[in-house]
């Protein structure tokens, strides 16, 4: 009886978390009202608002794609992936000790985000590359999405800048 009550507390906590999610969805639904209030308080122009929104979206998609890039590497069965090559390179550079078996999470995320940003922005230094078929397919899709996104971003940014010039 006591144990059953304790297990219900966990369910109650999950229910509270779901209600928070519903509140967030309601906030998304009323985003126009929220954005209008932010505009009134901060007094930012529409162009700056679009630029801020673009940067926020870029960081969000960059985060998601970075996590997927790590996931694709960890799902390889033979053990040869970009993470293993990067770990070996970090050991050679002295960034990791020779006995470390994994790259710490923060470093792994930074390297993954670096790869995604250089690929999406079409810079592509080439210091991190795909080593197996799954990573190559993912990289190809990322390059296609990156070119389309970069073209859209260039057009949007030039539109924002021209609207500033008009003012």
In this predicted model, what pLDDT tens digit does every residue of 29-70 receive, in sequence order? Answer: 666 676 677 677 777 777 777 777 788 888 988 999 999 999
Better-predicted residue by pLDDT, 35 or 156? 156
Distance, in Å, from the CA atom of 163 to the CA atom of 167, rounded to the nearest integer, reads: 6
Cα 46 to chain center, whole Å?
25
pLDDT, tens digit (0-9, with 9 covering 90-100), for 130-150? 888 899 999 999 999 989 988
User: What is the predicted pLDDT for the residue at 15?
Assistant: 63
pLDDT computed for residue 35 by the predictor: 67
Given a cut of 60, whether residue 94 has pLDDT beyond it is: yes
| Closest listed residue to residue 74, CA positions, set 140, 144, 131 | 131
pTM: 0.69
């Amino acid at each position: 009886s006591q144990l059953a009550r304790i297990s219900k507390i966990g369910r109650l906590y999950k229910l509270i978390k779901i209600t928070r999610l519903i509140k967030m969805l309601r906030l998304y639904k009323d985003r126009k009202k929220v954005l209008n209030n932010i505009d009134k308080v901060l007094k930012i122009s529409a162009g700056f608002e679009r630029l801020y929104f673009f940067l926020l979206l870029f960081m969000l998609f960059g985060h998601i794609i970075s996590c997927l890039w790590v996931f694709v590497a960890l799902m390889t069965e033979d053990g040869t992936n970009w993470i293993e090559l990067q770990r070996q390179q970090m050991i050679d550079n002295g960034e990791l000790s020779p006995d470390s078996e994994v790259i710490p999470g923060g470093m792994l995320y930074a390297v993954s985000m670096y790869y995604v940003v250089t690929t999406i922005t079409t810079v592509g230094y080439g210091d991190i590359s795909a080593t197996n078929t799954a990573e190559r397919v993912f990289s190809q899709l990322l390059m296609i999405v990156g070119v389309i996104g970069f073209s859209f971003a260039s057009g949007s940014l030039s539109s924002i800048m021209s609207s500033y010039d008009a003012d």
